[in-house]
Amino acid sequence: MSLMERLIRNWARATARARRLPILLTGMLALAGLAACGPDVIKGRPPFIGISGMSLQGERLTADFRVSNQNGVPMTVQAYELAMSVDDTVLVRENRTFELAIDANSSEELHVEREPDDTARGLLVALDQHERPSLPFALSGRVRTLEDGYLSFEHKGHLYPVPGRPGHFRSAVTQARELRREDDL
């Protein structure tokens, strides 16, 4: 076999390998894409706790808090501590131990009733009578979950009167600090 024939044969083999390379790369990318499309279950994310409603009726301040499980697996809340304040005045403070099972990607409600102090009542009455357009609030605390231990939360937002429902208020969150796991105490 002459030198020229060997060069042509080697060139033909190299060309055949070069043609297979894009097919091989395309196949590998397709497999990687299929693997990425598989089920990706979110775990270990703290619940989002927000104010779903609040009312001042007579001598009772009632607050409902929504605890949303943002995970793809169930979560069990064993205890929570929370404080909601407006202008350095605590409207609601609660510390409770109990069991609250929350299914994956769903939420449950926490109901709190208290007798507000005079300052808190004055703030809510001023809001209800439209003397103030809104009340800036801070909601902070932590929950203890069976799965992940203590998880902290902190939100800031505003309370607004509900039109046509005297003594009822709704909230809008304007800033939420990233929720995080705490070290056990």
Predicted confidence (pLDDT) at residue 144 exceeds the cutoff of 60? yes
* Amino acid type, 18: A
Among 16-20, 60-64, 111-115, the range scoring the smallest mean pLDDT is 16-20
The pLDDT value given to residue 185:
37
Q: Say how many C-beta atoms besides its own lie within 10 A of residue 71's C-beta.
A: 21
| CA distance linking residue 71 with residue 9, whole number of Å | 59
Residue 18 has pLDDT above 50, yes or no: yes
The C-alpha atoms of residue 185 and residue 168 are separated, in whole angstroms, by: 37
pLDDT at 174: 72
- Domain extents in the chain: 1-38, 48-181
85-107 confidence digits (pLDDT tens): 998 899 999 999 999 999 999 99
As its CATH architecture, domain 48-181 has Sandwich (2.60)
Largest CA distance in the chain: 106
Strand 135-145 versus strand 75-86 pairing type: antiparallel
Residue showing tokens 């995080």:
180
Dist CA 1 CA 185 (whole Å): 82
Amino acid at 53: G
User: Does the pLDDT of residue 25 top 80, yes or no?
Assistant: no
For the full predicted model, state whether its pTM sits above 0.85: no
Residue 40 has pLDDT above 80, yes or no: no
